[in-house]
A and B are shown apart, each in its own frame.
Chain A
Amino acid sequence: MDGFFLSIGVGLCILVFLALYRVVFGPGIFNRVAAVSAIGNKTLIMLLIMGVIYKRIEMFIDISLVYALLNFICTLAISKYLEMEGDK
């Protein structure tokens, strides 16, 4: 069973790099914001998979909750900043 979760984790790692391409070269700022948010979600799932592999899932759920929360606030803050820029 560990091999299954490990392969999912490696697949998610590759997907993170694909999203990173969009962050660096993506046309426009909205593509970049969406890609950063997607990277955050993938990292969250990778944290949970890490918890399953280490057999300490109850500890990693706390960490991933905080991660999801800060990711949400980060996306909101970036959106607010963009709104402010268009105002001038």
Chain B
Amino acid sequence: MIRVYDDIIVKTIARILTPFIQIFALYVIMHGHHSPGGGFQGGVILGASLILLFITHGLKETKKKITEKGIAVLSSLGVLIYSGIGLLCIILLGNYLDYGKLSKLLHVVPAEARSLGILGIEIGVGITVMAVMVSIFLNISTGGTLLEDEEDNTR
């Protein structure tokens, strides 16, 4: 289990660096169609910023802000956004993920509706990847035991 150590340099650098990492991750998600990146890569960078917090500030301290339940909800929410946009296109008499049909709903030309639809998909993918990365990290670092059981068998 990862514990807190009184290392002020590492903790301060992680605390200052985290917002910049997250802004860069959002940039990678939003600019996925102009530069390398996209939903998956941006989600991995977001997850890396949270993992950095877990590593430097210890599991117990960070668990107050990022709970296991919240991560589970986020990982489902991303899939819900993805499939929701896909099903919305079916409801609007198109194929699955046929973004052009969203133009009736958004009151824009079909080309712009495609761009916005792809952006929505990327955001959903990013949220899911971020949550699953953090979940994998937590499961590995606690040795497979759930976080709730951690208080009982202190190792």
Contact = CB atoms under 8 A, between A and B. Distances in A.
The B interface is mostly helix, strand or loop, or mixed, namely helix
B35 A73 contact: no
Interface residues of B, number: 17
A13 interface: no
A15 interface: no
Contacts of A69: 21, 24, 45, 48
B85 interface: no
A64 to B, nearest CB: 11
B71 interface: no
A63 B56 contact: no
B41 A83 contact: no
A80 B51 CA distance: 12
A10 interface: no
A84 interface: yes
B2 interface: yes
Interface in B35-66: 35-37, 41, 45, 48, 51-52, 55-56
Binding site secondary structure of chain A: helix
A62 B2 contact: no
Interface string A6-27: 0000000000000000000000
Contact of A62 (B21, B28, B56): B28
Contacts of A73: 48, 51-52, 55
Interface string A73-84: 100110010011
Interface in B78-118: none
Nearest to A60: B36
A80 B36 CA distance: 31
Interface in A53-88: 58-59, 62-63, 65-66, 69-70, 73, 76-77, 80, 83-84
In the complex, the 4 A-B pairs of residues with the closest C-beta atoms, listed nearest first: A80-B55, A73-B52, A62-B35, A76-B55
Given A62-B28, A66-B45, A77-B51, 4 more contacts: A66-B41, A76-B14, A76-B56, A84-B2
Interface of B: 2, 5, 10, 14, 21, 24, 28, 35-37, 41, 45, 48, 51-52, 55-56
